[in-house]
Structures are given as structure tokens and as C-alpha cells.
Amino acid sequence: MLVYGLDFRRRAVALVQGGQKVATVAKWLGISRITLHRWLKRKDLAPERMGPKVPRRCCPEKLAAHVEAFPDAYQYERAIELQVSQPAICYGLKRLGFKKTVRYREKDDERRNKYLKTLESIPEEKRVYVDETGFNEPLIREYAYGKKGERLLGERTGKRFARTSVIAGLRLNKSLAPMDWATAIRKWY
């Protein structure tokens, strides 16, 4: 993008204010009429800074202090507070080694410790770990990219479809009794 100097802008505005038509001055100087109209509306004709309007980097000390004060703030909230871009906050957090760890609200350390003690009392060769998972068909993509301003519509079936559930055990790093059902598994096991 071409940036016109301050002297050039002042000369163009002076020609229009001196009685010349905007279209004529724009043609003489090789600029668009819209550009000239914008210059006429402005109080300060100095060229605006190109690129992002907010700094791309943030002060690590300020960011660390903000994280300490507001550990649950979103990145966009930090960007507004520190007057930088949201990607600057993202990269700053990575550089400083901050990360968000989510824990379950229902977490009960006492019950967990009791379970671990019980688990330690069972010999390794007698332990069996069981897990369940499920698969749905057909799979659909929830999100897609479309042209800006145009709505992108997808299709999916309104019919019910099969769900396959799988349960298997693990003992001494060997798989035990894998089973599958053509239905959802409820809490009957």
C-alpha cells in the first residue's frame, strides 16, 4: 500500500480548498477521489501508522503480574488490559511457561488417596483395568470454512443411527475379553 507524504497531502487539500474540483485534483495527482475526500475530512493529514493498531509484543513482567493477579482471565481480556494483540498474549504466555490446567470440580482427594491405597494392596498380576468406548455412524464434520459473508450449510441425516460400544480389560499389558454391542452402554455394568 502506497503512503503519500505530508507535503503531497497538504498540496492536494490546498488545491481543493482553493476552488478546484475534487475529481480534477485527483486526476492531476493520480490519486482516487475517495482518498482525497478522506483527507479533506481529517484534522491531521499525517499518514497513519501502517500495520496493527496495537503492539505485537507485551512486557513479560506486566504479563506475569497480570496472570498472578487474575489467573482465570481470558486471553482477550488480558490483551485489552495490557493494550496488546491477543496473539501477543498467547505467545507471551508460552514464552513465560504459563499454561492453564483444568481440574474436575467434583474432585475428592480423600477418596482418590483411599482408592490408590486399596489399589496398592492388590498384587499387580491380579489387577484388571476395564474401559469402555463407543462409535457413532455416520460421522459428520461440525465445522467448515466458507467464503466471508456467505453461510455454509451442511447436511446430516435426521434418522437414528447405530452406535457400537466396546468394552475391554487390560491385565499385565495384555488385552482381555474385548466385547462389542450394537447399542449404547448404560450404567448396568
CA nearest 162: which of 139, 182, 186?
182
- Does any domain span residue 77? yes
Q: CA–CA separation, 153 vs 175, rounded Å?
A: 43
- Does any domain span residue 27? yes
- Does any domain span residue 132? no
- Does any domain span residue 172? no
pTM of the model: 0.37
Per-residue pLDDT reduced to its tens digit, 167-185 = 999 999 899 888 888 776 6
Query: 45-54, 60-69, 172-181: lowest mean pLDDT where?
Result: 45-54
- Does any domain span residue 181? no
Q: Could you tell me the pLDDT band of residue 188, with boundaries at 50, 70 and 90?
A: low
- Does any domain span residue 34? yes
The count of structural domains within the chain is 2
Domain extent, residue 25, equals 6-41
- Does any domain span residue 105? no
- Does any domain span residue 161? no
